[in-house]
Amino acid sequence: MLTGALNVRVFASEPEAAAACAALVAAAIREKPSLVLGLPTGRTPLNVYRELVALHQRGQVDFSRVTTFNLDEFLGLAPDDPSSYRAYMERHFFQHINLAPERIHFFDGSAERAERECVRYDLKLLEAGGLDLLLLGIGPNGHVAFIEPGDSLQAGSHRARLSRESRLAVASLFGDDVWKVPLAALTLGMAGMLQARRVILLAFGVSKAAAVTAMLRGPITPMCPASFLQLHGNVEVWLDAESGRGVDGSR
């Protein structure tokens, strides 16, 4: 289904979409073993990672030449902090597959100078030739990675002040204590996303329906950062029935 500028696919269920997404990633790696992959965190991709681990364990996908860039990290957290996104990725994905550690790229949330760390990250991404395939989630407020709604967006990687909504959404990583969630994060900028050669955005559940509708049908505005994906020629938005309820007007 083509909705405005973006291709939309509505799946019968979240597990079905996750299995299809894992199959797509595995096929992309078989086609190009040195794939450069952009990876999200959060609840949305958990089943995709589980499926990819299962495919790897069955010998159906080899990550040994793949390069990864994660999209964001909490400011102030070292990579080995159990609440960091780096630790999340180790737990749910990296430790179960055969990625080469030197080809895993992450913001260092504990870097002393955030601006310099962002420049380092963008240079690494440039050196890698940009992202071949970017997997994305979306926040209920329309954020992608931690590019938060605001008056303007930044093209490059940057330090982002986290909205209260975003901090509440990740409180489970911090013992359900929102006061422990860092106030800021380092995030890839919109340019890195728009330069990705292919984007799959996943959104599941009714809490994402309004953001999905705004992304697909609304104006391109920094108040809904995901709406900038309308400018990209190769984005697929994969939904379940709940997140897609506003999409075709039939619900």
Distance between CA atoms of 123 and 96, rounded to whole angstroms? 28
Stretch binding ligand PGA (CB under 6 A), from 36-44, 50-58, 95-103, 115-123: 36-44
Shortest approach of ligand PGA to residue 145 CB, angstroms?
7
Q: Which is nearer to ligand PGA, 138 or 181 (CB)?
A: 138
38 contributes a contact to ligand PGA by CB under 6 A: no
Could you tell me whether strands 133-136 and 67-70 are parallel, antiparallel, or unpaired per DSSP bridges? Answer: unpaired
Judged by CB under 6 A, the residue of 9, 30, 32, 43 near ligand PGA is 43
SS3 232: coil
Structure tokens at 149: 């709604």
7 is catalytic: no
**Contact yes or no for 146/111 (Cβ under 8 A):** no
Distance between CA atoms of 130 and 132, rounded to whole angstroms? 7
Closest to 117 in 3D by CA, of 188, 206, 173, 57: 188
Q: Which is nearer to ligand PGA, 60 or 213 (CB)?
A: 213
Q: CA separation (Å) from 86 to 67, 110, 166?
A: 15, 12, 18
151 is catalytic: no
Distance between CA atoms of 146 and 184, rounded to whole angstroms? 9
Q: Which is nearer to ligand PGA, 68 or 103 (CB)?
A: 68
Q: 51, 122, 141, 232: which one is catalytic?
A: 141
Judged by CB under 6 A, the residue of 44, 67, 84, 157 near ligand PGA is 44
SS3 content of the chain, % helix, strand, coil (to 5): 40, 20, 45
137 contributes a contact to ligand PGA by CB under 6 A: yes
Q: Which is nearer to ligand PGA, 43 or 251 (CB)?
A: 43
Q: 51, 72, 73, 122: which one is catalytic?
A: 72
Q: Which is nearer to ligand PGA, 9 or 43 (CB)?
A: 43
32 contributes a contact to ligand PGA by CB under 6 A: no
Q: Which is nearer to ligand PGA, 44 or 67 (CB)?
A: 44
Q: Where are the alpha helices (DSSP H) in the chain?
A: 14-31, 46-57, 85-92, 114-127, 164-169, 190-194, 209-217
Q: CA separation (Å) from 246 to 18, 205, 229, 243?
A: 21, 12, 18, 8
Judged by CB under 6 A, the residue of 38, 109, 139, 142 near ligand PGA is 139
Shortest approach of ligand PGA to residue 80 CB, angstroms?
22
Shortest approach of ligand PGA to residue 118 CB, angstroms?
19
Judged by CB under 6 A, the residue of 138, 160, 214, 239 near ligand PGA is 138
Cβ within 8 Å of residue 102, ≥6 positions away? none
**Residues in contact with ligand PGA by the rule CB under 6 A:** 42-44, 137-139, 169
Residues with a catalytic annotation lie at 72, 141, 143, 148
